[in-house]
Amino acid sequence: MSTTHQQIPTEMRAAQILEQGDIGVIEVRQVKVPTPGPGQVLVRVEYAGNNFIDTYQRGGVYKVPLPYILGNESAGQVVAVGQGVDESTYGFKVGDQVAAYTAGGSFAEYALTNAAKTVKLLDGFSTRDAATVLVQGLTALTFVKEAHEVKKGQFILVHAAAGGLGLLLVQLAKRFGATVIGTTSTEEKAEIARKAGADHVILYGQGRDVVSEVYKITGGEGIDRGVHGVFDGVGKDTFDSDFDLVRRKGTIVTCGNASGPVPPFAPLKLGPKNLKVCRPVLNQYVHTQEEFQSYAKELFELVQSGALRLSVHKEYDLSTEGIRQAQEDITSRKTSGKLLIKVAA
């Protein structure tokens, strides 16, 4: 194992759960600093990103090995590397600033990462920006390229368009030439979505008929009216109407369960308009080192060039109260932009 000259402590603070449940199971404890094995990297974390998947893992939607340190996205400095990790194999060394897509462990002072899912930051790219954009940015970028390939001239609808993922989907769909329709819950959020590039924003609830308003925007008759693709991070509350929103040969991309899991449906429901439904997972689009590095490089270049603008809702500290509040806030559906955990002082 190669390490930095600075002494690595034996213990660290980490947001850990001993069982799955409500936010009360989260506690920041003193735990042992992990040691990187072959193909692994130890990162001194400066910022970590708070994502919906963290709430699913804490709450039991996804099973995790216990005890478990929460957090799937971190950015900081490499302080140690395991066997086989160097500049020739993975492109970085001890001392480099990096961002990582981790399998848990990011809400901690030190995070153990898979070298194949760790990327060196471009010159001038901050760890704060990296933790803001890595997971949600990779999700948005891979989804608009592979889950439903967004093309010039298409109509694309993004539910929860002012959320962290929604804002990135809006910007990318617009960049690829689509007319973008967003849905939000408040006029304040609608204005945020418009500033991100949404051509039209519809407020759901309040007696609004979202389907009728979408048809007015897209035009068309019968099964040829509606959008070419829906990116739905809301889940249960919006999924049924997605089948009406999408036109013939369109795609429904379910990318979140903010209102609860999507209910089961009969495959025959796809037939009347030859629709496609997919529930993609980021990891399967960046499964190899080459895929991860290529998409991460493209993403960071979009941010650095100004083509993709980042939005942070709030920063939280690495404390029991801070992590609990971050998880409570992200599930409230009242936030806009990214929720960050500031780890380093």
Dump pLDDT digits (tens) for 121-178: 999 999 999 999 999 999 999 999 999 999 999 999 999 999 999 999 999 999 999 9
Residue 4: inside a domain: no
The per-residue pLDDT of the chain, averaged, comes to: 96
Q: Give the tens place of pLDDT for each residue, 301-329.
A: 999 999 999 999 999 999 999 999 999 99
Range of the domain at 83: 11-135+286-342
CATH of the domain at 331: 3.90.180.10
Peptide bond into 263 cis (omega under 30): no
* pLDDT at residue 222, rounded to an integer: 97
Residue 333 scores a pLDDT above 90: no
Peptide bond into 67 cis (omega under 30): yes
Residue 3: inside a domain: no
Q: Do 37 and 78 fall into the same domain?
A: yes
Phi, psi of 147, rounded to the nearest 5 degrees: -70, -50
Q: Give the tens place of pLDDT for each residue, 254-289.
A: 998 888 889 999 999 999 999 999 999 999 999 999
* pLDDT at residue 204, rounded to an integer: 87
CATH of the domain at 243: 3.40.50.720
Q: Give the tens place of pLDDT for each residue, 13-44.
A: 999 999 999 999 999 999 999 999 999 999 99
Domain boundary among 234, 262, 279: 279
230 DSSP β-pair partners: 157, 252
CA–CA gap between residue 227 and residue 217 (Å, rounded): 9
Q: Do 45 and 124 fall into the same domain?
A: yes
Residue 5 scores a pLDDT above 60: no
Residue 292 scores a pLDDT above 60: yes
| Count of the separate structural domains present in the chain | 2
Residue 6: inside a domain: no
Q: What is the pTM of this model?
A: 0.95
Residue 29: inside a domain: yes
Beta 2-3 vs 276-278: how paired, if at all?
unpaired
CA–CA gap between residue 84 and residue 236 (Å, rounded): 45
